[in-house]
Amino acid sequence: MNDDRPRSLPRRVFSALGRALDQSRRLFVNLLFLALVIGAVVAAVAGGPKVEKGAALVVAPKGEIVEQLTARSPQDLVAGLAGGGGPQTLLRDVLDVLAAAKDDERISAVYLDLDEMGGAGMTVLQDVAAALQDFRKSGKKVIAAGDTFDMRRYHVAAHADEILLDPEGMVLIEGFGRYRTYYRDAIDRLGVTWNVFRVGEYKSAVEPYLRNDMSPEAKEADLEWMGDLWRAYLTGVARARKTTPEALAAFVEQLPARLKAAGGDPGKMALDAKLVDRLASRDEVRARMIQLAGKDEKAKSFRQVSMATYLEALGDDRPSTKGEGDAVAVVVAKGSIVDGKAAPGRIGGDSTAELIRTAREDEKVKAIVLRVDSGGGSAFASEVIRRELQLARDAKKPVVVSMGSVAASGGYWIATSSDEIWASAETITGSIGIFGMFPTFEKPLSKHLGMRVDGVGTAPWAGVRLDRALPPEAGGAIQAMIDRGYEDFLERVGKARKMTRDEVDKVARGRVWSGADAKDRGLVDKLGGLSDAIASAAQKAKLGDKYRVTYVEKERSLREKLMAGFSARASRLAARFGYTLVPAEDAPGGPAEAVLRAVALEADELAAWNDPRGVYAHCLCELR
């Protein structure tokens, strides 16, 4: 007994310490929430932030620029202040601030700070470029500055009046590529039996589980649509920089030789190629902006307003939702399609159908635009959404689909119940095909753990388990469902596009197309962006020029709104002191971590798939 006492004392100490830490954590969270409420009240009384006359609007996208923000829980917002899954910037926010600033006398210029910008689809880049070009019509300058420009950042920067690159920086235009991890040898080594069922030789989403490399069919199709995107990229950037696509392509292809000619100095190489206008250190960038916007003596920098503060100052007076009278409702469908309900960032069959139904039942809404940015997912959920769109059409409300960066497979399935389909030339679409997967683990369980499964059942289906070989009759039944699903897909596309079954099959078979090629093949009606689709929907509803645009979204709770507001204010406050709030999972890691993260992302995507029949229409063709 005496020997136990010394050991119990540390336990009591650590237990007391744990309780104290837990109480401290709860107190901290409660104080944060109280501060948030007080801050919201004070902000409401004060009338919101003020925009100093002559200030430069700082557009500094954080992370990926997206059509819809991935949902963040209040706990994420408090714990990470940016939420799990990495920072994101909403495309609509960028477009709105640029449109509003164009005619705002308080704004003297735009400063593009792109160092923390992550990925963006080609249609997103095109939309931002168009907004910058429109802003420049006001005569106000756009200055882009950065330490390093990858190809996506450079696409945005190219549409500025001046590009300032740090002397130690570089411009790296990599070109488009699609590389995936293939698991066939690993699956065989582990002894997993990966049963795959599909239709279409171009349905390459399942190839990593069947092969160790990309099939010739997949290479052919991918090079074709990526070639379209690459030509569009070169053309757009070359036009903005007053050069030629050939000159820009030559810079990319001859990079090693050009870098050697520049003495190994990538900054000088970019300047010699006229990709940037000037090499400028941070103090020189600051001095240039002071010339344009004046000096903020207190901050010892140029007069400026952040994008978040400017949005807050705009309040409800946002360009994207201005207007009066009857409405065109926009429903955003972004992410993988899953069965049931899903938070923003994924497309839930039930939750997205509910948003469409809300628009359909709103008497003020006269037309619906579905903005699709999805490579697909659950075939069952896709049909739920398609059916809801058809009900809107039956209610005499025009439905127009606007395709974003990706609208393929299930993303195309849901587009078939529409009066018109718009896509950008750079949209990734098509991939009309179906597949299913059912892995079983009986071999590794037996070999490595000595575990075996045996028993009896009244029917073959009673023995369908992950730890038992798939019965042949079950495999045959699944393939029959896949075949039927493909025929259903062809039938829906044929009815929507006024094509025969064989005509659709000729452009289907799981093949991915660019938006331009899809239009040539009758899968898309017109080429254009979201604003074009909205205008077309208004015209179909005979609304004339007087209409408003409303985004139909899941209503956030008061607590979620308050937490989101607090997160934004905390980020702005941190920025004033030179800090950036980034979740731990977004901290830079080494090459090995990057590889593991890519595999983890694919595993996370597969884990979310929940089609009740195990039937999927997905292309897994997003460029990352």
Residue 611 contacts by C-beta under 8 Å, 6 or more apart in sequence?
A: 339, 377, 378, 379, 380, 381
Parallel, antiparallel or unpaired: strands 434-440 and 193-199: antiparallel
Q: Please, what sign has the CA dihedral across residues 210, 216, 222, 225? A: negative
Residues taking part in catalysis? 203, 409
Distance CA(468)–CA(455), nearest Å, equals 11
User: DSSP 3-state assignment of 133?
Assistant: helix
List strand residue ranges (DSSP E) for 511-554, in order: 512-514, 526-527, 548-551
Q: Is 476 exposed, middle or buried (0-12, 13-18, 19+ CB in 10 A)?
A: exposed
Closest by CA position to 149, among listed 37, 69, 266: 266
Copy the structure tokens of residue 479. 């393939």
Letter string b/e over residues 403-436, b meaning 16 or more CB atoms within 10 A of that residue's CB: bbbbbbbbbbbbbbbbbbbbbbbbbbbbbbbbbb
Report how far residue 413's alpha carbon sits from residue 310's, in angstroms, rounded to the nearest whole number. Answer: 39
- Give 210-246 as a 3 state SS string: CCCCCCHHHHHHHHHHHHHHHHHHHHHHHHHCCCCHH
- Residue 475: name the closest of 489, 460, 487 by CA: 460
Calculate the dihedral angle through the C-alpha atoms of 431, 437, 443, 449, rounding to the nearest 10 degrees.
110
Specify the 3-state DSSP secondary structure of 368. strand
**Overall residue count recorded for the chain in this entry:** 624
- The answer to whether 612 and 380 have CB atoms below 8 angstroms apart is yes
- Compute how many other C-beta atoms are within 10 angstroms of the C-beta atom of residue 118: 18
